Amino acid sequence: MQSALISDAVSKQRHSEKRRWTVISILLAVLAFSFVLDIATGPSLLNVKDVAKALLNLIGFPVEVDATTQVIVSSLRLPIAIMAIVVGGVLGVGGAEMQTLLNNSMASPYTLGMAAAAGFGAAMMLYFGSLGINTNIAVPLGAFICCMLAAAFLFALATMRHISSGQLILAGIALLFLFQSLLSLVQFVSSPELSQQILFWLFGSLSKASWSNLVIIISVTVICMFFLIRDAWKLTALRLGEERAKSLGVNITQLRLRTLIIVAVMTATVTSFVGIIGFVGIVAPNIAKMLVGEDQRFFLPLSFIIGAFLLSSASVLSKVIVPGALFPIGIVTAIIGVPFFFWLILGKRR
């Protein structure tokens, strides 16, 4: 009798796992649709069917398609569409892990000052005329270095034994204010032209996507995701509270430091190439949590997919809001993100 009840409970667990994989698959399909739509929209509106054909051509299934369409897809729009997916995914995962690490659903690399630090780094590079290096290399490099410096400060705090998650969040918020002020200072002392250049970088843009940038971003993302997935169960245990995770044999200081480094490297890399894109890091993990819970085996991939979908659809919106003009994507994500943020806060209150 008892063994029948146990095998019934095992099949319930398997069913629950299957349900969560189904949710992930559905959202993956939605993401694929948004990806094709992202490629189709732009100054010359392409037919979704033609886009699909051009993509099939690219992955080795020869289908007849117009040569111009093929060039637009493969050379111009595909890198941007892939960039939207990878950057959105990284921001989603970055937020998910920050929220896990700090036990706070409002934490993300953005709210902890890492993005502001990257912005400051980019602004400094623009201010100093890229230090004689090519601007396309100097600005991302400056952003990356400053973002890692801000993260290093958080690492130093995280390695202290008696620093709580709450204190880490406060330190991150303090960093956010510090870098925002420094950024304003740089803009204040800059010429109007330079100030405008800085402002445009801060808005966030996928237009600088190129195959060479993508190789860097995708390689970093794949390596970081591998390490995060490897720690999936430990990160799940961390959600039970630090003391309890410790009691289960997790080395909290090591896990916290390792995860912070991974998130910082991922965030710094994507932010340095596309600028500041807020809210994806907060919104994506919260939706993922509602759909599949906090077992990181499901939570982590879904946070990536939802983040990717949000940025991909924001990319579509940024092109259709004002037909013929490209609306800065950082503005679009914030406009979508803010109402959701309020819904989240009010939902928690109920």
Partner 1 sequence: MLTVNNLNVTLDTLVLANDMSFALEPGKVNVIIGPNGTGKSTLLKTLFGDIQAKSGVVSFENETLQRKQLSRWRKQFGYMPQDIRLDVELSVLEVVLLGQLNTLGFRLDDSVIEEALSALDKIGLLHLADRQVNKLSGGQCQMILFAQALMRKPKILMLDEPVSALDLHFQHVLLDHLDAQTKEQGWVTIMVLHDLNLAAQYADNLLVLKDGKLVANGHPSDILTPSLVKNVYNVNADITKDSAGIPFVRTIRNTRTTSSSKTSESNNLSGTRKKIISIAEGAI
| Interface residues toward partner 1, by CB under 8 A | 2, 5-7, 9-10, 12-13, 16-17, 229, 232-234, 236-237, 239-241, 243-244, 246-251, 289, 293-295, 297
- Are the C-beta atoms of 173 and 111 separated by less than 8 Å? yes
46/69 Cα distance (integer angstroms):
7
160/13 Cα distance (integer angstroms):
39
Q: Which is nearer to partner 1, 206 or 235 (CB)?
A: 235
- Are the C-beta atoms of 309 and 26 separated by less than 8 Å? no
Q: Which is nearer to partner 1, 252 or 335 (CB)?
A: 252
As measured in angstroms, the least distance from the Cβ of 338 to partner 1 is 24
Structure-block tokens of residue 127: 């201010």
Q: Which is nearer to partner 1, 240 or 257 (CB)?
A: 240
**Phi, psi (deg, nearest 5) at residue 339:** -60, -40
As measured in angstroms, the least distance from the Cβ of 165 to partner 1 is 13
Q: Which is nearer to partner 1, 249 or 323 (CB)?
A: 249
Structure-block tokens of residue 256: 């916290």
As measured in angstroms, the least distance from the Cβ of 6 to partner 1 is 5
Q: Which is nearer to partner 1, 19 or 49 (CB)?
A: 19
Q: Which is nearer to partner 1, 175 or 237 (CB)?
A: 237
23/40 Cα distance (integer angstroms):
26
As measured in angstroms, the least distance from the Cβ of 119 to partner 1 is 33
In this structure, the number of other CB atoms found within 10 A of the CB of residue 25 comes to 11
Alpha helices in the chain (DSSP H): 2-40, 48-58, 67-71, 78-102, 114-127, 135-159, 165-189, 192-203, 211-230, 232-238, 242-247, 252-274, 280-292, 296-320, 329-349
As measured in angstroms, the least distance from the Cβ of 234 to partner 1 is 7
For 90, half-sphere exposure in the C-beta direction (CA atoms, 13 angstrom radius) is: 30
As measured in angstroms, the least distance from the Cβ of 315 to partner 1 is 30
Sign of CA dihedral 339, 340, 345, 350: positive
As measured in angstroms, the least distance from the Cβ of 138 to partner 1 is 41
Q: Which is nearer to partner 1, 10 or 338 (CB)?
A: 10
Sign of CA dihedral 339, 235, 248, 20: positive
Give the residue among 148, 117, 123 at the shortest CA–CA distance from 220: 148
Q: Which is nearer to partner 1, 10 or 189 (CB)?
A: 10
Q: What is the DSSP letter of 251?
A: -
As measured in angstroms, the least distance from the Cβ of 186 to partner 1 is 41
Q: Which is nearer to partner 1, 13 or 191 (CB)?
A: 13
As measured in angstroms, the least distance from the Cβ of 244 to partner 1 is 6
